[in-house]
Amino acid sequence: MPGESDRLRFHLWQGLSRRVQDIASTHRGRLPAALPTVSEDDHQPVEKTTDNAAAGSRAGRHAQSLFEAVQALTRTGRSHSSVPRELGLDRRTVRKYARARTWQEVMRRPPRKPSTLDAYLGYLRQCWDEGQHSAKILHEELQVKGYLGHYQRVKMAVAPLRRGLPIDEPRERPPSPRETARCITTHPHRRSLHINERLPRLLDHCPELKLTHDLVRRFATMLDNRDAAPPPAWLGDLKRSGLAPLVGLARAFHEDRYAVAQGTRSSYNSGVNEGRITDVKLQKRIMAVRAGVRLLRHRVVLIAHLRRRHADRPTVSPR
């Protein structure tokens, strides 16, 4: 039946995607390898200046004293549950200071997210060096150049310059396990240039994710070609991969091998149906207690009409 094979095809790919995310979570420590390498000459002076300024601040002295107190007690063999009672601190605070190697790690803020001001940071720094230190005037000059952001963002950007620190430029964050799984399961032709730059670095650094990527692409080829012959060999490679999520998936696929073969050969997928269900759930949450059944039904029908594509033929999206 088309409907039955329809659901099988979707859930086969969904089950594999979840296993990929589990593998990425297991190797979370290697995900920063996707970021481009930063030379020590470019990175060290900024951190050194920031740490020196933080050491002289009130917050820096407080963090340093807490770090020394927590480290002194944990080095004696005290547990993380007894140290909070003695120091009068929260257990999570003690755990944070106990795991840190230096007090600067506790003080260092997470990388700032990119913003609309990033394209104007060079001009902002140039104006500051030329003697213009008024955030209001700087904001007006940036507006002339096309900046549409708020004045408050410019004021926060120049705040480090007033303390003799460099502008807090955005630093790229490593991908999360979910983002890594999405990159691996996305068809190569549909990946963005940003993903195509990061993914090869990550796969070269992590053999487990590289093996997972190769197995995922092989299974995607089977689904695209609707070929049920290769699965036995593919299942054998899953079992020999040594990765627990893939070994468990191979066992589940082997138990339902006839359904897997049917889902692989099917020309249908349930992406459209699952999308409709997601739309219904979203509208229910958005309009809860604020709309009756008639309005909810009308919104769902309109969204289904807007999302309808190629209604006369089954939709098979590249994986």
Is 186 part of a structural domain of the chain?
Answer: yes
> CB within 8 A of 272, min separation 6: which ones?
315
> What CA–CA distance (Å, rounded) separates 169 from 161?
12
Is 312 part of a structural domain of the chain?
Answer: no
Is 62 part of a structural domain of the chain?
Answer: yes
Domain that holds residue 278: 271-307
Q: Where are the beta strands (DSSP E) in 95-225?
A: none
More confident residue, 314 or 185: 185
- Residues 301 and 234 placed together within one structural domain of the fold: no
DSSP three-state, residue 173: coil
Structural domains in the chain (count):
4
> What CA–CA distance (Å, rounded) separates 66 from 83?
12
- Report the pLDDT value the prediction gives residue 168, as an integer from 0 to 100: 65
User: Residue 259 in contact with residue 237, Cβ under 8 Å?
Assistant: no
- Residues 150 and 208 placed together within one structural domain of the fold: no
User: Residue 299 in contact with residue 38, Cβ under 8 Å?
Assistant: no
pLDDT tens for 255-301 read 887 777 777 776 666 667 777 888 888 888 888 777 788 888 888 88
- Report the pLDDT value the prediction gives residue 181, as an integer from 0 to 100: 94
Structure pTM?
Answer: 0.54
In the DSSP assignment, the letter for residue 43 is H
- Report the pLDDT value the prediction gives residue 112, as an integer from 0 to 100: 61
pLDDT tens for 132-170 read 889 899 999 999 988 888 889 888 888 878 777 677 666
- Residues 123 and 197 placed together within one structural domain of the fold: no
**288-297 contacts, C-beta under 8 A, 24 or more apart:** none
Task: Note the residue count of the chain.
Answer: 319
